[in-house]
């Protein structure tokens, strides 16, 4: 029986990794976080890649990981916040399963990324992070809107995972 991947997209701090791990456990799927894979492969942290090689180099690494994961099945993939906004990544990885976009209020995103000391987001560094979040959300709104939306504000990660599982069970073929 085929085991289509579940791909989580959405802005930084919307809970893709936390929810993805819960989903993987429920489904007996593997779990991959694309940022972690990139870091393991390059031996550098995300901020180091941005600083030493530039954002364009990071996006190339992301595209390579998208192609590689698209060939697999039975995985929950938590993608970096912009990965699925690239049409080629969306096409390649999207074909391997179902994509869900997690969303949260900007203030909540700020609180979550501020509390996530282990993962510095270069795109939110310097200046006013809330203003940066609002600007990026606006810039990316149309891109995220292409995917089925899952609200995370006011829900626990378990509840969010439950919604996604329900959606998959209700419409298993797509």
The phi and psi torsions of 103 (rounded to 5 degrees) equal -130, 150
- Report the distance separating Cα 62 and Cα 84, nearest Å: 10
**Cβ distance to ligand S3P smaller for residue 46 or 70:** 46
Q: How many CB atoms lie within 10 A of CB 128?
A: 10
Residue carrying structure tokens 């579940």: 6
- Establish if 35 lies at the interface with ligand S3P (CB under 6 A): yes
Asked if 81 touches ligand S3P (CB under 6 A), the answer is yes
**Cβ 73 vs Cβ 81: under 8 Å:** no
- Interacting positions 45-64 with ligand S3P (CB under 6 A): 46
Least distance (Å) between residue 171 CB and ligand S3P: 26
Interaction between residue 82 and ligand S3P (CB under 6 A): yes
Which one-letter DSSP state was computed for residue 44?
S
- Helix/strand/coil for 169: helix
Q: How many helices (H) and strands (E) does the chain have?
A: 8, 5
Nearer to ligand S3P, 18 or 96 (CB): 18
> Under the criterion CB under 6 A, does residue 121 sit at the interface with ligand S3P?
yes
Which residues in 61-80 contact ligand S3P (CB under 6 A)?
80
Asked if 12 touches ligand S3P (CB under 6 A), the answer is yes
The residues of the shown chain that bind ligand S3P, judged by CB under 6 A, are 12, 16, 35, 46, 80-82, 121-123
């Amino acid at each position: 029986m085929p085991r289509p991947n579940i791909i989580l997209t959405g802005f930084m701090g919307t809970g893709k990794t936390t929810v993805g791990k819960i989903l993987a456990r429920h489904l007996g799927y593997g779990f991959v976080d694309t940022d972690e894979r990139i870091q393991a492969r390059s031996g550098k942290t995300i901020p180091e890649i941005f600083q030493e090689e530039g954002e364009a180099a990071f996006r190339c690494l992301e595209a390579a990981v998208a192609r590689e994961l698209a060939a697999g099945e039975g995985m929950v993939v938590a993608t970096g916040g912009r990965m699925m906004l690239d049409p080629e990544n969306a096409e390649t990885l999207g074909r391997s399963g179902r994509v869900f976009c997690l969303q949260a209020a900007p203030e909540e995103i700020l609180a979550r990324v501020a509390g996530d000391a282990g993962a510095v987001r270069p795109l939110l560094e310097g200046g006013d992070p809330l203003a940066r979040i609002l600007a990026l959300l606006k810039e990316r709104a149309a891109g995220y809107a292409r995917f089925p939306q899952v609200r995370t504000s006011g829900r626990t990660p378990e509840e969010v995972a439950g919604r996604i599982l329900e959606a998959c069970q209700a419409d298993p073929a797509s």
